[in-house]
Amino acid sequence: MTTIRYTKDHEYIRVEGDTGLVGITDYAQAQLGDIVFVELPKVGKRLKRGDEAAVVESVKAASEVMAPVSGDVVAVNDALEGTPGLVNADAAGEGWFLELRLTDTTELDGLMDEAAYRAFVASLD
């Protein structure tokens, strides 16, 4: 079963079992504009919730991507090195950043579900 949760900083984590794919939302990529570089962590890195997990650079600015929950980096999306525009084209799919093995799945309870995130984004405009 897949569970998607969101942060107020526009990261998502798509969880299956005890691992999850982390990326930024479509709203975030649209706000950032053309993405030209994504700096990814090393596989094996241990992240606490809120740690800097990656840096995304658009033509406008560099932004930190924070770990939505604590975990170990078990994979990164190497395709972003050559094609950072995948984040713009398909933020929720092919444009994922990294895969985490969650250390505490109860941390997911502190994040928003899809409906809550949609309402949150709507409140921003």
Partner 1 sequence: MSDLATPSLSEAARTPLYDLHCALGARMVAFAGYAMPLQYASGIIAEHFHVRAQAGLFDVSHMGQALLEGPSAARRLEALVPAAVVTLAPGRMRYTQFLDSDGHILDDLMVARLPGEGASECLSLVVNAGPKAQDFAHLAEHLPELSLTIEKDRALLALQGPIAAAVLARHFSGIETLPFMAAATFPSEGGEVRISRSGYTGEDGFEISLAAESAPAVAERLLAEPEVRPIGLGARDSLRLEAGLCLYGHDIDRTTDPVEAGLLWSIPEHRRRSGGYLGADPVSKAIVEGPARRRVGFLIEGKALAREGAIVTTPDGAEIGVVTSGGFSPCLGRPIAMGYVETSFAEPTTPVRLSARGKALEAHVAALPFVAHHYFRGSR
Q: Which of 64, 104, 113, 114 binds partner 1 (CB under 8 A)?
A: 64
Residue 18, token pair as written in the block: 């005890």
Interaction of residue 33 with partner 1, rule CB under 8 A? yes
Distances (CA, A) of 105 to 36, 43, 46, 68: 32, 20, 15, 11
Interaction of residue 60 with partner 1, rule CB under 8 A? yes
Interaction of residue 57 with partner 1, rule CB under 8 A? yes
Q: Which amino acid is at 33?
A: G
Measured from the Cβ of residue 105, the count of other Cβ atoms closer than 10 Å reads: 14
Interaction of residue 63 with partner 1, rule CB under 8 A? yes
The residue among 4 and 32 lying less far from partner 1, judged by its C-beta, is: 32
